[in-house]
Amino acid sequence: MANTRTVVAAALAIVLVGVGAFSIGRLTTPVEATPSSTSAAAGFARDMQVHHDQGVELAFLIRDRTDDEQLRTLSYDIAIAQANQSGQMLGWLNIWNLPQAAPEPSMTWMSRPPLSGATDHHGNPGASDAHQPGAPMPGLATREQLDSLRAASGVEAEKIFLELMIAHHKGAVEMADAVLTRTDVSDVRTFATAVIAAQESEIRYMEELLAERE
């Protein structure tokens, strides 16, 4: 199995490349039209902040409930990466002069038709009914699931965390894929592509960790 720090470092490097591309892109690419408040770019920025904020919460919950150094390192790096990315998405909304509060139910952007000819990172066209407005976000843990993690410790907590975070990451990949098929905003596309690469890497690693505990 790959060394923890190697896997995490690789995932974080992917994210940092995406962030760097975001900054460089703002200086070198033509000025794009500002996204509207109901655009997929704005909806993704708002909803993925909520999604990432729960990822940070899950990461800190397991750090308080395990002595396993691999999981503690992984959870810390997840918390740092997702907190930073959440701040970056808030920054987009400020740059676009858009409110943080959505003018419509969460995930409405994901229910709208994809752009003509757009594909996700597998090359598949986006679905026009990928999500229902106001429905729970993909992979978001329920209050009951969070409570079960809070009540657990040791290996039991580790298994619960890994199951929840794997599902959480898969949900984030689904959302990132959905925005790839619904926006041509280059900064958002670069960011979403980096999130997919990093989180798919972490999913594979967490699946290995979970298998060790079965």
* Structural class in CATH, domain 4-212: mainly alpha
pLDDT for res 22: 46
pLDDT for res 47: 98
166-212 pLDDT tens trace: 999 999 999 999 999 999 999 999 999 999 999 999 999 999 999 99
Q: What does the block give as tokens for 100?
A: 């943080």
Query: Could you tell me the residue ranges of all domains in the chain?
Result: 4-212
pLDDT band at 26 (very low <50, low <70, confident <90, very high): very low
Residue 97 to residue 119: CA distance in whole angstroms: 28
Q: Is 100 exposed, middle or buried (0-12, 13-18, 19+ CB in 10 A)?
A: exposed
Residue 195 to residue 173: CA distance in whole angstroms: 7
Q: Do residues 200 and 57 touch, judged by C-beta distance below 8 A?
A: no
Residue 18: pLDDT above 70?
no
97-140 pLDDT tens trace: 999 999 999 999 999 999 988 888 888 877 766 688 999 999 99
* Residue 111 to residues 71, 106, 139, Cα–Cα distance (Å): 35, 10, 17
Residue 200 to residue 206: CA distance in whole angstroms: 10
Residue 98 to residue 149: CA distance in whole angstroms: 35
Name the least confident of 18-22, 85-89, 142-146, 166-170. Answer: 18-22
Q: What torsion do the CA atoms of 100, 170, 168, 104 make, to the nearest 10 degrees?
A: 30
Three-class secondary structure assignment of the chain? CCCHHHHHHHHHHHHHHHHHHHHHHHHHCCCCCCCCCCCHHHHHHHHHHHHHHHHHHHHHHHHCCCCCHHHHHHHHHHHHHHHHHHHHHHHHHHHCCCCCCCCCCCCHHHHCCCCCCCECCCCCECCCCCCCCCCCCCCCCCHHHHHHHHHCCHHHHHHHHHHHHHHHHHHHHHHHHHHHCCCCCHHHHHHHHHHHHHHHHHHHHHHHHHHHCC
38-47 pLDDT tens trace: 999 999 999 9
CB contact set of 4 (below 8 Å; sequence gap of 6+): 69, 70, 73, 74, 205
